[in-house]
Amino acid sequence: MRKLGKTGLLVHEIGLGGIPLQRIDAETTRAIILEMRKWGANVIDTARGYTVSEKLIGEAIRGFREDFYIFTKSGARTRAEMERDIEFSLNELGTNYIDLYQLHNVKNLEEYHLIMGGAGAYEALVAAKERGQIGHIGITTHNLDLLLAIIDDCPFETIQFPYNILETQAAELFRKAAAKDIGIIVMKPLAGGALQNPRLALKFILNNPDIAVTIPGMESVELAKENLAIVNEPLTDTEWEEITKTRSLLGNDFCRRCGYCLPCSAGIDIPTCFTFEGYYTRYNLQEWAVARYATLEKHASDCINCRVCVDRCPYGLAIPEKMQQVESVFKF
């Protein structure tokens, strides 16, 4: 267990990320959460934007709500929108109290000022905290510059940011945040699916004492067991070698599957195309990748180079050019 900064919450190092719950059913969600309970894992992180995720979690924790800390978040930017979303989250989760409510994916300082200004979303969070509907207030973002700009005067009890074998750019910021007793939640522990060894990926994160909890997606009980069995012990020389090898193979130019580039004007499922390409070119699963890619409704060759996706990608990926690479791999 680690302390989540000034929230004072004692959290298990491995929590549940709510995105993949959208792809599974109520029964599996409950089975995963029951498995977590056995291990003493007590964090579930979801979002208003993850469609049915809050509802599935609410149903799954019925009868033992108090065994979990529920974190959720909303992309609302105004007070009125945030008030509506908090009520919605409480209803979906079937609870009268949310442990941590986060501002979801704040993109830049302009958005930040909108949220923190008069009639901005932050006012609604403070009011909900005063009413006892939420316990703590946090922020999530993919923009390191934004966190660097606000960290000295940070009004939040937690920050949530990507960190993994391939993305360690926040290490210094985490050190600073931890010194200020701000709780650190790590998203994208598997780099959005680019990392294929969950054991190594999670061990790497747990090696950083500034981090309180990381939230991998767990789509099955087996995966939950595998993740929860990981112990916080120093990385071996062989594991460091594997980390170095993975870094040189993937670099920075890879899709994290965040989905912010969607919808594509041509209807292409952009992150899935990149995933199948990765399976083909990096993980020696050519046959599997070709079969799966063929089932997609639209393919890389359907890209019309409109470039609307490029501005939306928080990692600055040259998506249309990468689509051409995907097309050259699969030939359509």
Binding site for ligand SF4 (CB under 6 A): 255-261, 264-266, 268, 270-271, 303-309, 312-313, 315, 317, 319-320, 323
- In the complex, what is the shortest distance from the CB of residue 279 to ligand SF4, in angstroms, rounded to a whole number? 15
- In the complex, what is the shortest distance from the CB of residue 167 to ligand SF4, in angstroms, rounded to a whole number? 11
- In the complex, what is the shortest distance from the CB of residue 312 to ligand SF4, in angstroms, rounded to a whole number? 6
Cα dihedral across residues 143, 148, 149, 152: positive or negative: positive
Q: Which is nearer to ligand SF4, 9 or 273 (CB)?
A: 273
Q: Which is nearer to ligand SF4, 134 or 303 (CB)?
A: 303
The Cα–Cα gap between 322 and 299 comes to 12
- In the complex, what is the shortest distance from the CB of residue 116 to ligand SF4, in angstroms, rounded to a whole number? 25
- In the complex, what is the shortest distance from the CB of residue 50 to ligand SF4, in angstroms, rounded to a whole number? 15
Neighbours of 114 (CB within 10 A): 15
Residue 262 has what DSSP assignment? P
Residues 193 and 14 sit within 8 Å (Cβ to Cβ): no
Find tokens 């909900």 and name the residue. Answer: 128
- In the complex, what is the shortest distance from the CB of residue 325 to ligand SF4, in angstroms, rounded to a whole number? 12
H/E stretch holding 259 reads none
Q: Which is nearer to ligand SF4, 86 or 261 (CB)?
A: 261
φ, ψ dihedrals at 159, nearest 5°: -125, 145
Q: How many residues does the chain have?
A: 332
- In the complex, what is the shortest distance from the CB of residue 275 to ligand SF4, in angstroms, rounded to a whole number? 9
Q: Which is nearer to ligand SF4, 245 or 307 (CB)?
A: 307
Cis peptide before 216 (omega within 30 of 0): no
The Cα–Cα gap between 221 and 210 comes to 28
Q: Which is nearer to ligand SF4, 156 or 276 (CB)?
A: 276
Q: Which is nearer to ligand SF4, 36 or 191 (CB)?
A: 191
Neighbours of 142 (CB within 10 A): 21
Q: Which is nearer to ligand SF4, 209 or 267 (CB)?
A: 267
The vertex-32 CA angle with 184 and 70, nearest 5°, equals 40
Q: Which two tokens stand for residue 150?
A: 């606000």
